[in-house]
Structure 1
Amino acid sequence: MGRVKKNKYKKLMIHNWRLYVLMLPALIWLIIFAYYPMYGLLISFKDYKGSLGILGSPWATPIWKHFSAFFSTSIAKNVIVNTVVLSILTILFSFPIPIIFALLLNQIQGKRKRKLVQTISYAPYFVSNVVVVSIMNVICAPSGFVNTIIQQFIGRPLLLMSSAEYFRTMYIVSNIWQTMGFSAIVYIAALTGISPEYHEAAIMDGATKFQRILHVDIPLIMPTIIIMLILALGNIMTVGYEKVYLMQAGTNTQVSEIISTYVYKVGLQNAQYSFATAVGFFNALVNFVILVIANQITKKTSDISIF
C-alpha cells in the first residue's frame, strides 16, 4: 500500500514538474530567509561573543538566564502590555476596513473606474514609513493643517505626535490609510471568484444591493475572512518597530515602547545580542501559541482552518 502511494506521488511530481520548478525560487527564498535564521536562536541560550561565533560561545548558566533577566526587568510588563494593546486595537479597527472597502469597491460599475480607485487606494502601502511619519509630523504639527482645523473647534492645538494619549490613535489611523487598499486585494480576489449566478438569483428574488452584500458576498468570502483573521491573531505580538520607533518621543515612550523597539535598542544599539534574541524568541513563541489556539477554535466552530 505504501509503495503504491509512493509511486502515485512520484508520477504526480513528474507530471507537474514545471509547477515545482516555478515554486523553487520561493522555496529557496523561504529556506534562506525564514528557516536558516532559526539557527541564530541558539544565541538566546548562550553568552554570545562575536569573536567566538554562535557555536563557540559558552552556554548560559542557567540556560534560561536571558529569559529570566528579561522578565525581571521593570520594563518587561510595560512593553508586553503596550505590544498587545496596540496590536489588538490595530486588529479591531484596521481588520474590518479592507473588507468593507472591498465590498464597496465591488459595487462600482465600470472596470476602469474600479481599477483607478483600487490603484489609488493601495499606492500608500508602497510609501516608506520614514516618509509617512514625516508627513504626519508636518500636517499634525501645532501650526499644521490638522491643528488648524482643530483650533477652530477647541481654540488650541493638540500635541498629536508627541503626546502619549494620542500615540495609539495616530498609529492606527496612519496604519489604516497605509494598508487599507493593499489588504483589500485578497478580499477583492475572493469577491471576483463568486459566480454571477448567485447574484442573478438574488436579483430575481428582489434583493437590493445591500441585501446581496449581506446574504451573498459576505457569506461566500467568510472562509477568506476567517483565514486572514487567524493570521492576524497569529501576529498579535508582532508590531513592526520602524513606524513606532520613528513616532517615539521622550513624552510618549510609556505607551510607545513595544517589544520590537525594545529588542532593536537592546540588541543593536547596546549590543546585548543574547538578551535581545531571547526577548525576540519569547515574542515568536507566544505568536505561535496564539496562532495554534485561534486555528483550533475556528476549526471547531466553523470548520475552517489553515492547518
Structure 2
Amino acid sequence: MWGSGVTAVMLTMEFLEVAMNTVNKAAMSKGMSHFILVVYSNMLAVFLLLSSSFFFYRKRIAPPITWSILGRIFVLSLLCCAGQVFTYIGLGYSSPTLASAMTDLTPAFTFMLGVISRMERLDLRSKSSQAKSIGTMVLITGGLVVTLYKGLPITGSPSSSNKLQNELLLLPSSKWVIGGFFLAAHSFILALIFIIQTWIIRDYPSEILITLITCGFVTILSATISLIAEEDPDAWRIRPNIDLVAIGFSAVFAVSLRSIVHTWACHKKGPVYTSMFKPIGMVIAVFMGVSFLGDTLHLGSVIGAVIIALGFYAVVWGKSQEERTVEDKEKCSFESSSPKVPLLQNKCTNV
C-alpha cells in the first residue's frame, strides 16, 4: 500500500543524482563541453540499454510498437535532450547545490500538469486530495527554506562558514542568475517528461525499450546540435580523466538507470509521486556536504529538512488513501456483481 519498494529506489536515485551533479560540475570546470557530455553519455547509454534489452527479452516477447507510441517517444526525446542540455548549462554557471535546489519547483509543475492532463485526481472535498495538495506545497516550502534561510550554525567551525560565504561573494551574480534560469526551465521540462512518460508507459509497458529508443533519438538530436554549437574540434576528444568518469556516470545513471526508474515509478505511482522526491535531493546535498566535505550545518537546513519530511509524509499518505479508495471501489464492484452476496452489495452501496 505504501509502496516502500518504490520509495526506497527513488531515494537511492536522489543520492546518485547529487553525486552525478558534483562529478559533472568538476568535469565542466576542467573545460568539458556540456554539449559533448550529452552526446557521449547518450551514445554509451544506447549500447548499455541495447545489451540489456537483448538479455531481458531473451525469453519473452517485446510488446509491439506502433507509430503513435513512436511519435510520443520522439516528443519525449526532444524534451529529454533539452532537459539535459539545460541542466548542464545551468550547472556550468552555478553549482550542484543550486541544481538540487531548483528541482524543488518540479513537484508544483508536475502537480499542475497532472491535474490539467487528468492524470491526477483533484477533489478538494476528499482527504486524500487535500493531503496531496497541502503536502506538495509543504515540500516546496521546505526546499525553499533550505535554500534561502541559513540561520545559526549548528556544526562546523565559524571559519569554514565564513570561507564559504566569501567564496559565494566572489562568484559573479550574473552567472548565478543565468544558471538559475536554465535550471528552472529544466524543472518545468522535467515535469513534462514525467507526464509524457506516464502517458507512454500506460499504453506501452516496457521501460527498457522506451528508454532505449529515447536515447537513440537524443543521441541523434544532441549530435546535430553539438556539430553546430561546438566550434572547437578538440572538444570531441575524450581524455582519460574526470571527463571519462562524467561520461560513464551520466550514461549508466542519468541516461539509463534513472530514466528507467522514473518511467517505472510513473507507471506504478504516477507523475506527482515521482516528482515529489526532488526536494529531498536538496536535503541529501546538504547532508553529503556536511558528512564528506566538512561543510557547516545550519539551523535553516534542519528546519527545512523537517518541513520536507512532513510534506513527504502528507503526499505519501494521500496517495495511499487514494489507492485504498480505488481498491475498495473495485472490490465492491466485483462483489456486487455476484448474486451470492446481497448483503455485501448493500454495504458497498452505502460506502
Q: Which has the higher helix share?
A: 2
Larger Rg over CA atoms: 1
TM-score above 0.5: no
TM-score (normalizing by structure 1) = 0.30
Which structure ranks higher in relative contact order (CA pairs < 8 Å, sequence separation ≥ 6)?
A: 2
